[in-house]
Structures are given as structure tokens and as C-alpha cells.
DNA sequence: TGCCATGGTCCCACTCACTGGAACATCGGC
DNA sequence: GCCGATGTTCCAGTGAGTGGGACCATGGCA
């Protein structure tokens, strides 16, 4: 990992990860040429690296290009945080789903975004978020629930930096409310017609480890009814996680 | 990717993938030293590579070692085959679950193993297979359903090579039955007390793309009742996949 | 308190694995 | 048959990666 100057990767590892991420970002399939353009790596080098990755099943050839392969699926399925959370959250989500019937999510902070780790389909169509997708921190209920309790000032600052002063002020006031209420709301800020209600899951040190949310159509989901349910679910998950470690 | 002779990886890519796979295989956490021993890569090199992978969030440091990180989870969630299958299989699985209430799996062939791609929990405890885990081809219903229709003679041969002559003969006869019945059964061969019933999902060219299975306790699940249900589900999935491409 | 064992990181001269430009295939489309 | 676009292969040159060893934690033990 020599020069990470500029954004041109030079180490093999950087390049491999750049290729994998580019394949991921290109929803659907990508070609070698597109990868070379997007990453700035010469075409012959991309061809060789992709060839190796395909041989190892980390990538696969589809009809019209390259896609993520089964080995990465296998690796991803063993990821530590999602597994731990899943085990602890499953009964909690089952209860919450029985009470609401709505779309549920458990997400963790990943850089300045929230990354959905578990997703339960409710009646909402199309499904706004699935496990493994990123949603913005500044507008989603999940994001606000975590931001309100985050200790990493730099992340909070960089999220704030992306907002104009007015919205920033509003978000700051909102986060203060979240800190007392333990519930955050997203009224069609991220997805039109979709309301989200989320509550943070904290570690014993009161640092945010995740958030749990309910999302439904603005037309006929009562956010106020959801708040105590989500808060209760988040507390239950917090409790179960504390037990799990021991 | 120079010499893949012996099993000592020399290319950076080989080494990175060897490290990732070793972390995956070590259920739980691994240390740098353990990784160096398992992969045959010098400790200083492992330290550097793991450091880079952690910086990129492909791995994460846990209390007692290194575990799979969130970026790999994100990549895995975008894997092509599991996504396509999930979209097509969800309604089919819902129907099958309503009819049975048992543990369901959709799996694909991955080398000589079957890799579970979707898993629905039934009443069975402990859950024998989850999404992202490998199960043997020779003994599971899923494996037999696919092996019976596989065109890759080398895989069939290498699975057979792992069996003693008597078992090999039995499996061959079993596969012949599967070819006519489109249903394979695993009577406690893989997991004690667990019966599995599976049916293959074929491409328009009649090549196996996946298999779908029901698993339940040998004590009170009626395999014969499951057979038509599983067969019907597999046909429905086959049909939906054929439509999806178009 | 000192000592050893264990696990992890860092340094830096050497060298071989990786690079990438260019030539070569391959596939339509007109 | 020509052209453009995409993917693969070749190979000499070289700098990215290597790894032995020094160094820095811990922590158990006497």
C-alpha cells in the first residue's frame, strides 16, 4: 500500500477492492472496459485481475458482463456484526412484525451512511430498503436515531457538512429531541410517501451499535402508534445484545 | 498469479483470498498468528495485508481477533445468483411454508458442495443450515437433486470419488430414481434426526440451476406428503426463473 | 520485580511478481 | 470486407511487495 495520493490505486489490494466496489456499485453488470474507465486502472491489468477473481469465484461472468460471485456471498454471510445482530434481533423483529405488519429494518452506521443489516418485508411496495443497501444518515429515521447518540464527532460533522445551514439547524434540534425521546422520525424525507420511525440500540456504554425502524405508507400508517412499539423493540434488542456477550 | 504449484500462494491476490477464506472458515475469530500458520504466509506479511483489509473494512477487529467486516457483507448482499433466485423464489417459498411450516432451503451447486442461498426457519431446532453455508452434495437431498441432473461429469466424479464403492453404487441408483421422480430424499444421512426432501430447479436447457428443499424432524414429518409439495414448488420456481430472464 | 512466552507491528534492502503498452483475437453492424 | 468496440495475451523492465529480524506490547509465573 504505497501511495494512496490522489485516488489512483497502486497496490494490488487497493486495485482489487476498487474493482470489487465498482462491480457492486454498478447495479447489474459491468464490462472490463467500464471497470478500467471507472477505476483508472489500465485495461490489460483489469482484465488480468478480473480473470483471477473469476477463477476464484469471487466474480462471475454473466451474459453481459461481470457480476458478484458466490464466494463473496459466502463470505458476506459470515460477517460478524450482521450475524450477531440477526441472532439477537430475530425474536424481537418477529414480535414487532406481529404488532405492526410493516416494513422493518435493523441498520448500523457505516461511514456516513447507514447500512441495512436485516430487512423484513411489510406491506410497503416497492420495498425501499433491503439488507445490504446503504441509506443516507441525515434524512432516514435510522440515521437520525444513531447520529443522536454517536460519539464520533468527525462523522457527525461530515454528515452536517453536506447540508445547507437551515437544514443543519433543523437536524440539530431534531437530534436533541431524539436524545430525550429515543425515537426518530422520517416524514417522506428519504422516500416519497414513506414514513419511518426508528429507535437506537445502544451498547452498555451507551454508544449506538444499531437502530431498528418501522416504515410504512404515509397515507395510513400512524407514526404515533409506532413510536412506543419501536422504542420497546430497540430496548429489547439492546437487552438481548448485552446478554449475548456474556 | 505465478506459481499455484504446491499450495503456497505467491500472488498478492491469492494471498488476500486465502486470508479471507481462512477467516471465514474459522468460525468465530482468528488471530494474525493463526492466519500465518494456516495459510503458510509469513507473519509480517499477514500483518500488513490484514491491516490493509481492516482499514478498508473488509475485515474488522473484534475483542479476540479478526472477523469478517461490513464491506464484505455489503458485497455479498449484491451477489448476482442469490439475488435473482431470491426475487423469483420468495412467493414460492411463502406458499410452501404455509403448506408445511418446515425448514426450507434453496441451494446452488458450488464446487462439490451445495451452498444454501435462501433459508426459511421452520420448527426444526437447532437449524441445520442457514443461508451462506455449505452442505455436502452426496448425502443431502439438495445435493442429490442437483447431482442427478448435473452435466459436469468431473464434479459428479469427484463427489463419487469421496465414497466407498458400496455407497457409490447406492448413490448411483438413487440418482436414477431422482431423474424419474424429480424428488430426492435424505433420511438422517447428513444431520441425525433430520429428514430432507428436495426437488431440482432446472434451466430451459434442463441443466440444474438450484434445488429447493423441506427439512423436518424424522419423528413427525411425513416425507411422502412433502414430495408433491416440493416438486410443485420447484416447478413453480423453474417457471418463474424462465420468465424472469425475458 | 524480573523473566519468559505469546501475539502483533515495523523497518528496509533485495528481488521477483506485477505492470501496461502494444499486438493480437473476437464479435457484430453496416 | 472493413470498421469500431471489447477482451485477451505477451514480455521486458522495474518498483511494489516481501519477509527476516528487531522491536513493542501483554500477561502469566515464580
pLDDT, tens digit, 9 for 90 and up, residues A19-31: 999 999 988 789 9
Q: How confident is the model at residue B139 (pLDDT cuts 50, 70, 90)?
A: very high
Cβ pair A9, A3 in contact under 8 A: no
Q: How many CB atoms lie within 10 A of CB B99?
A: 16
A193-CA/C22-C1' distance, Å: 55
> Which of B1, B22, B79, B133 to mutate: most A Cβ within 10 Å?
B79
In the 188-207 stretch of chain A, whose C-beta falls under 7 Å of nucleic acid strand C? none
Beta-strand relationship, A113-120 and A134-136: antiparallel
A244 vs B contacts (CB less than 8 Å): none
Instruction: Give the integer Cα–Cα distance in Å for B109 and B83.
Output: 15
End-to-end CA distance of chain B: 38
Q: How confident is the model at residue B8 (pLDDT cuts 50, 70, 90)?
A: low
Measured between CA atoms, the residue of chain A closest to residue B119 is A77
> Which of A1, A74, A114 to mutate: most B Cβ within 10 Å?
A74
Contact of B217 with chain A, judged by CB distance below 8 Å, is answered with: no
Instruction: Find how far residue A41's CA is from the centre of its chain.
Output: 28
Q: Taking 50 as the threshold, does the pLDDT of residue B170 lie above it?
A: yes
Assign B63 to helix, strand or coil: coil
List bases, strand C, within 7 Å of protein CB.
6-11, 16-23
Class of domain A78-245: alpha beta
A125: exposed, middle or buried (Cβ count in 10 Å: 0-12, 13-18, 19+): exposed
Cβ pair A12, A6 in contact under 8 A: no
- The per-residue pLDDT for A4 is 37
Instruction: Give the integer Cα–Cα distance in Å for B164 and B138.
Output: 12
B115 vs A contacts (CB less than 8 Å): 70, 73-74
**In chain A, where are the structural domains located?**
12-68, 78-245
B82-CA/C8-C1' distance, Å: 38
Note if the bond before A126 is cis, omega within 30 degrees. Answer: yes
Q: Which three three-digit cell numbers place residue A22?
A: 465498482
Nearest nucleic acid nucleotide to B34, CA to C1' distance? C7
A233: exposed, middle or buried (Cβ count in 10 Å: 0-12, 13-18, 19+): buried
If you search the block for the grid coordinates 435424505, which residue do you land on? Answer: B186
Measured between CA atoms, the residue of chain A closest to residue B131 is A77
Cβ pair A149, A179 in contact under 8 A: yes
B30-CA/D30-C1' distance, Å: 31
Q: How many CB atoms lie within 10 A of CB A86?
A: 15
Q: Which three three-digit cell numbers place residue A27?
A: 447495479
DSSP string, B111-165: TTEEEEEEEE--S-SS-S--TT-EEETTTSHHHHHHHTT---HHHHHHHHHTS-H
Residue B26 CB contacts under 8 Å (≥ 6 apart), including other chains:
B34, B38
Instruction: Give the integer Cα–Cα distance in Å for A22 and A199.
Output: 32
B142: exposed, middle or buried (Cβ count in 10 Å: 0-12, 13-18, 19+): buried
Q: Which residue has the higher pLDDT, A23 or B26?
A: A23
Cβ pair A101, A122 in contact under 8 A: yes
Identify how many contiguous H helices and E strands chain A contains and give both numbers: 9, 8
B68-CA/C17-C1' distance, Å: 27
B81 vs A contacts (CB less than 8 Å): 60, 69-70, 73
Task: Give the model confidence (pLDDT) of B225-242 as tens digits.
Answer: 999 999 999 999 999 998
Average pLDDT over residues B133-147: 97
Contact of B12 with chain A, judged by CB distance below 8 Å, is answered with: yes
Measured between CA atoms, the residue of chain A closest to residue B86 is A130
Return the C-alpha torsion angle B65, B70, B72, B74, nearest 10: 170
Q: Taking 50 as the threshold, does the pLDDT of residue B208 lie above it?
A: yes
- The per-residue pLDDT for A205 is 87
CA distances from A101 to A22, A97, A120, A197, B81 (A): 36, 5, 10, 14, 29
Contact of A219 with chain B, judged by CB distance below 8 Å, is answered with: no
pLDDT tens for chain A, 246 residues long, are: 433 334 455 899 999 999 999 999 988 789 999 999 999 999 999 999 999 999 999 999 988 899 999 999 999 999 999 999 999 999 999 999 999 999 999 999 999 999 999 999 999 888 889 999 999 999 999 999 999 999 889 999 999 999 999 999 999 999 999 999 999 999 999 999 999 999 999 998 899 999 999 999 999 899 999 999 999 999 999 999 988 754
Instruction: Give the integer Cα–Cα distance in Å for B234 and B206.
Output: 13
Average pLDDT over residues B193-207: 94
Q: Taking 50 as the threshold, does the pLDDT of residue B129 lie above it?
A: yes
Instruction: Give the integer Cα–Cα distance in Å for B196 and B214.
Output: 6
- The per-residue pLDDT for B59 is 96
Fold of B12-68: Arc Repressor Mutant, subunit A (1.10.10)
- The per-residue pLDDT for A103 is 97
A142-CA/C14-C1' distance, Å: 52
Q: In what order do the strands lie in the sheet with B113-120?
A: B134-136, B113-120, B103-110, B208-217, B194-202, B184-187
Assign A67 to helix, strand or coil: strand
Amino acid at each position: 500500500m504505497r501511495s494512496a495520493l490522489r485516488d489512483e490505486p497502486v497496490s494490488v489490494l487497493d486495485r482489487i477492492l476498487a474493482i470489487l466496489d465498482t462491480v457492486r456499485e454498478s447495479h447489474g453488470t459491468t464490462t472490463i472496459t467500464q471497470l478500467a474507465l471507472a477505476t483508472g486502472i489500465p485495461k490489460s491489468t483489469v482484465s488480468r485481475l478480473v480473470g483471477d477473481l473469476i477463477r476464484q469465484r469471487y466474480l462471475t461472468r454473466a451474459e453481459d458482463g461481470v457480476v458478484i460471485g458466490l464466494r463473496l456471498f459466502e463470505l458476506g454471510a459470515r460477517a460478524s456484526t450482521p450475524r450477531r445482530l440477526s441472532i439477537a434481533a430475530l425474536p424481537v423483529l418477529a414480535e414487532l412484525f406481529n404488532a405492526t405488519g410493516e416494513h422493518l429494518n435493523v441498520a448500523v452506521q457505516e461511514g456516513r451512511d447507514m447500512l441495512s443489516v436485516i430487512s423484513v418485508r411489510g406491506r410497503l411496495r416497492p420495498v425501499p430498503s433491503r439488507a445490504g443497501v446503504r441509506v443516507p444518515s441525515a434524512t432516514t429515521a435510522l440515521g437520525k436515531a444513531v447520529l443522536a447518540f454517536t460519539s464520533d464527532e468527525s462523522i457527525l460533522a461530515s454528515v452536517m457538512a453536506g447540508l445547507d445551514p437551515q437544514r443543519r439547524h433543523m437536524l440539530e434540534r431534531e437530534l436533541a429531541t431524539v436524545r430525550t425521546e429515543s425515537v426518530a422520525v422520517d416524514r417522506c424525507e428519504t422516500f416519497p410517501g414513506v414514513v419511518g420511525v426508528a429507535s437506537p440500540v445502544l451498547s452498555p456504554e451507551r454508544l449506538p451499535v444499531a437502530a431498528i425502524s418501522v416504515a410504512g405508507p404515509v397515507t395510513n400508517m400512524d407514526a404515533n402508534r409506532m413510536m412506543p412499539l419501536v422504542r420497546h423493540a430497540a430496548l429489547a434488542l439492546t437487552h438481548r445484545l448485552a446478554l449475548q456477550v456474556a
